[in-house]
Amino acid sequence: MLKLSEYEVNIKIKLSAIWASAMSLYIYCDYFELYTPEKLESMINGTTLFGSGDQGVLLGLSSIMLVTSLMICLSILLPATINRVLNILVGLIMTLMLGYLTYVAGWYFYKMYAAVEAILTLLIVWFAWTWPKESNA
């Protein structure tokens, strides 16, 4: 029986792939949320989970998704030192937010998505924290 070939995946590609998975889950969760009662009505009325859907609130919510979306490419493009710090910071912030959403969300699907997303962002923090070091040998 032939042994399957394995190779070490670069840390930057690992981080980018996890961010892409997390973003997919964010999008799907928001999509399924549209099927919850009164969600579309609240959107039409301009209200969000954080109150009115005014420009400030929408800018804030969009900024969160903007940063996490950019982490997909930034994880590959940024130099290692900045990359590591940014992945740790953004990963921790997102984990805390998702942990809170897991706690306060009423719908089971939302709790499930938030829990899996939090696991992914913790994984990002772990990979960034344990970023491989170059040997001087």
Q: Spell out the domain ranges in the chain.
A: 11-129
Contact 23, 120 (CB under 8 A): no
CB-side exposure of 129: number of CA atoms within 13 Å? Answer: 11
Predicted local distance difference test score (pLDDT) of residue 24: 96
**Nearest one of 40, 129, 25, 33 to 86, comparing CA atoms:** 129
What whole-number distance in Å separates Cα of residue 9 and Cα of residue 27? 26
pLDDT, average across residues 7-23: 96
pLDDT higher than 70, residue 136? no
Q: What is the 3-state secondary structure (H, E, C) of the chain?
A: CCCCCCCCCCHHHHHHHHHHHHHHHHHHHHHHHCCCCCHHHHHHHCEECCEECCHHHHHHHHHHHHHHHHHHHHHHHCCHHHHHHHHHHHHHHHHHHHHHHHHHCCCHHHHHHHHHHHHHHHHHHHHHHCCCCCCCC
pLDDT higher than 90, residue 13? yes
pLDDT, average across residues 9-31: 96
What whole-number distance in Å separates Cα of residue 67 and Cα of residue 46? 24
Is pLDDT larger for residue 87 or for residue 36? 87
Predicted local distance difference test score (pLDDT) of residue 61: 83
Is pLDDT larger for residue 51 or for residue 92? 92
Contact 49, 64 (CB under 8 A): no
- Kindly report the pTM of this predicted structure: 0.88
Contact 136, 65 (CB under 8 A): no
Mean pLDDT score across all residues of the chain:
90
Give pLDDT tens digits for 63-121. Answer: 988 999 999 999 999 999 999 999 999 999 999 988 887 777 788 998 899 999 999 99
Q: Which pair of structure tokens corresponds to residue 128?
A: 């960034």
Predicted local distance difference test score (pLDDT) of residue 137: 59
